[in-house]
Amino acid sequence: MNAVPATAAPRLRPMTLHDVDAVGAIEASAYGFAWTRGNFIDSLAASHLAEVLEDERVIGYFVALPGVDEMHLLNITIAPHRQGQGHGTRLLDAVAAHASVRGLPRLWLEVRASNERAMALYVRRGFVVVGRRRGYYPAAEGREDAILMSRSVAAPSA
């Protein structure tokens, strides 16, 4: 009887400049109006919180901006062929954990009004709609609104 080798769970690690091409490829495959390579390089240069999720290769990532009393999630993406496997939840939970450790009580994000799948994930992870940013995103025809969402972040356990 042949045993099937166990696949290691994907691991999170800090994003580096060496990841930018892989991250950019995922970004381009997931979005019609993707962040550019320069956007990711600028985020790393500005010391934004950025991590990748990888197994044999990068399968997802997030970029977040810690503030004085909040964490703003700027970008979170899972490679399209790896979506629906819990990786987005894992990344969101990692962002919330970083906010908690830093004592940041609130997590914010914007999401395209048309991205119902992402909004459903955010709601499952405790986000609520708190506003709308009119014409925030570029779209095939004009601009698309962003839905502003937020959730509280628990303080770390003592």
Give the CA distances from residue 65 to residues 46, 116, 124, in Å, rounded to whole numbers and listed in that order. Answer: 9, 24, 22
110 is annotated as an active-site residue: yes
**Rounded distance between C-alpha atoms, residue 133 and residue 154, angstroms:** 27
Which one of 51, 110, 137, 144 is the catalytic residue? Answer: 110
For 93, the enclosing helix (H) or strand (E) is: helix 87-101
122 is annotated as an active-site residue: yes
Give the CA distances from residue 130 to residues 30, 65, 103, 149, in Å, rounded to whole numbers and listed in that order. Answer: 25, 19, 22, 5
Side chain identity at residue 69, one-letter code: D
Catalytic residue annotation: 110, 122
